[in-house]
Structures are given as C-alpha cells and as structure tokens.
Amino acid sequence: METLTCNLLVLGAGPGGYVAAIRAGQLGIDTVIVEGEAHGGTCLNVGCIPSKAIIHAADEFEKAMHFAGENVLGISASAPKLDLSKTIAWKDAIVGRLTGGISGLLKKNKVRTVNGWGQMVDGKTCDVKTADGTVRVTAKHVVLATGSELIEIPSLPFGDNIISSTEALALDGVPEKLVVIGGGYIGLELGTAYAKMGSKVTVVEAAGRILPQYDAALSKPVADSLKKLGIEVLLNTKAKSANDAGTSLVVETADGDKKLPADKILVTVGRRAKTEGWGLSDLDLTMSGRVIAIDDQCRTSMTDVFAIGDVTGEPMLAHRAMAQGEMVAEIVAGQNRRFDKVCIPAVCFTDPEIVTAGLSPDEAKDAGYKTKIGIFPFAANGRAMTMEAEAGFVRIVARDDNDLVLGIQAVGKGVAELSAAFSLALEMGACLQDIAGTIHAHPTQSEGFQEAALKALGHALHI
C-alpha cells in the first residue's frame, strides 16, 4: 500500500474542501485533498452552476418565444426552436472549464490530489481506493468536507422516469409532462426552467404554500409567476406512489387520491448531510442530530479534526462552506480566526429571484426587537420598468431604537446581484441613515435599496 504523509488532509473537494486546500497551499501547508469524483462537488458539477446554465437557457428561449408573438416592445421574430442536446453540451463545457480551473489552482498552490473514494480509518488516517490501488494518507490535521446527498422518497426510488435534480440537468429532451415533487427552491428553479422550455409542469407540495422557508410576502411574486407560466401547483398534497413505468404519480389531496400523468417525475424534497460511506463510524465524533457538531472554529470533538460545509448542517450553502474552509486553513496555519458572521445570504433563483440576508420581520420580532420596516416596490423603480420587471420589492428591517439594520430581503428580476450589497451593509453594522445617505446610481434597481431605507425613516422620495 502506498502511503502519503501531510500536514493537512482534506476529505472532499466540493466548495468548502477545495477552498480549504487552496488557502492552505497558499499558506505553505503541505496539503493532500481526496475526491472520488470531479473537483467542485455537487455545486459545480450537478447543482449550482449547471442549474443556473439551464435556467439561463430557458429564460432566453422564453424571451424568443415572447418575441414571436405580440409584445409591447414591437419586436418580431420567427418561431424559435430548442435543441436541448446543444444546451446540455454548452452547460457541460462550462462545468468542465470550472472543474479544470479548480484542478489547476490546486496544482498551482502545490496541493496534492488523490483521486478516489476515501475511508477514514481514524482521526489521522484515510485509505483511498484509487484506480491503481489503495493509497493511505496520514495527516496531522484533517478537514471533513463530505458534503450532502439527495433525499430519496422510499416509495419513489430513483430510476427510469423517476429522476433527481442530477438527471434533470442532463435530459436528452424536454419532457411533455413534468411532475415536480417539492415546492422548495430546487423544485421551483428546475420546474420553472422546464416550463419555459415547453413542459407542462405540475408541482406537488405537502405544505400550504410554496417556498415555506421564506415568508409569504417574498414567495407571492413567485407564485404569481408560476401561474402566468401555466404551472399547476398542488398544495397540501403528498406524493404516494408511481406506476412501474414511472408514467403516472398518485398523490394524496384533501379531496382524495389523484393520478397525475407524467413523462418524468422529478423528486426534489431536499438534501441531507453525507454521513455514510467514508468512515464516520470509525471516528469518535460528537453529533448534533444527523450532522457533525462543530464549534465556532469548525473544530469537532476530536483533536485536530475539523468539519465544514453541508456535513455540519444548515444552511447548506456553497458560500458558507467556502468561508469555513478558508477560515480552517488559516487556523491550521496558526492564525486566530473564528466564524462570527452577521449574516449568510441566501438566493433562490426562481422567476423572480429571492434574496435574504439577516433577520426577517418575524425573526427580528421573535428575537425581541422592536422594529421599523421599509419596503420599496420595483413598480416604482424606473430601471425595473424599462426591463419589464416590475414585480417584487426591497425590504429593510431595522431596530426601532437606533436604526441598526437587522435584515434585508428582496424579490425581483436579477436581485441576486444585490446580495453582496445587502451582506456588506449588515457586516459593516450599517444604520438606515448609512444606506439612505449613500448615493445609488440611477437608473438601477439598487435604488430600491436606498428608497427602502428612506421609507423606513419615514421619507421615501419616489413613493
């Protein structure tokens, strides 16, 4: 058995793992990273990046279809056609460029890569099954970055026409009828994309409304958009079973069982920490339910063993994992770092998009704050009007006693790009006056951010 020794072993090359390894390499730490598939993990290969590529293609196709009919812009076009195989090839090329880029950055920073599935033997040792045999890696420090995995419904196992988001990003054609189980962000992002590409989409959601993790004010513009796209949403409805061919789904509604025809059944009921298949049972780790318990330095209950990203629980976001990975590398290098973030922004790439940063009005109330809230609708924003994007708003939640901003939310076209400004304001401890007094370029949607602050102060200018 070949044996490698290093200062830092990183198990998993997803967003958290590869960032930890790159930063460690920059700091001169002898690092080995172990990955069984392509660098970049779920996010880059079968999640964040490819899904956004498909969403963009769907948006462009819908736009072309729009211009093939009557429209207020006076643009006319011939009936467009979609070759999904070319779309998938374009998406794959983007993924390939990015995974290749990560591999190059790891090499540039002198990080050694072992390609294969790692199995922890103890808190210092990992056996990796590679194509050429088993390689044993021993390290002084270990970072567990094993990520998460899709949740499968026992009565609807993946296979044939019952697919996960992974298969939905690699279909060879647009299904005529697509049933999506789950009205969360993954199901709605992909369901909306396929509806724009021509599928008849039905969403099955067990809760009383879509996107239950967001407040109703934020999810309403999305619900309105789904209706305009012809997507049928069945609320308070549970998926029960499919026929053997996976061409129909039986659901339980308040009015009894109903059968839904389907060419594909897309199951998107969430993800869970990947805690099996890499030797967790051979480690003496304290757990917090299903996930690995960590402190504010991402240390586990075992000395010099860290855990980052989805395997440590919510929020399961790539940028959280990246921030944790960077921090852990610096801790291993001897720096004094702690994970003390005011907010971790979240973006839902539906149509329209949703951004949340910090506390919502209800969360602020539950935390004991008396608040003032400013809301500015995009219907009063000049740039939004010129983009045919008047649905949605920006909302700011601030303390009533000193105007400290506690949370910022937005829903609207392209608002994902406002997330950095929202997060920066919160991390910098901005008050309403700071935002209101900052000149925002005109005409941009970001003016809605300033106007929301002015509204909370009682003197909005454009509403």
Q: Which of 39, 141, 442, 459 is catalytic?
A: 442
Are 113 and 106 contacting, i.e. CB atoms less than 8 angstroms apart?
yes
Are 307 and 331 contacting, i.e. CB atoms less than 8 angstroms apart?
no
Are 259 and 143 contacting, i.e. CB atoms less than 8 angstroms apart?
no
**Rounded (5°) CA angle 113-290-235:** 110
Q: In what order do the strands lie in the sheet with 177-181?
A: 162-163, 264-267, 177-181, 200-204, 232-234
Point out which residues pair with 126 in neighbouring strands.
120, 137
**Rounded (5°) CA angle 268-272-276:** 130
Burial-class residue 251 by CB neighbours within 10 Å (0-12, 13-18, 19+). buried
Please indicate whether residue 39 is annotated as part of the active site: no
Instruction: Report how far residue 238's alpha carbon sits from residue 150's, in angstroms, rounded to the nearest whole number.
Output: 18
Are 45 and 351 contacting, i.e. CB atoms less than 8 angstroms apart?
no
Are 139 and 8 contacting, i.e. CB atoms less than 8 angstroms apart?
yes
Pairing verdict, β 248-253 and 117-122: unpaired
Minimal CA–CA distance to 160: which of 305, 273, 266? 266
Are 310 and 273 contacting, i.e. CB atoms less than 8 angstroms apart?
yes
Catalytic sites, residue numbers: 442
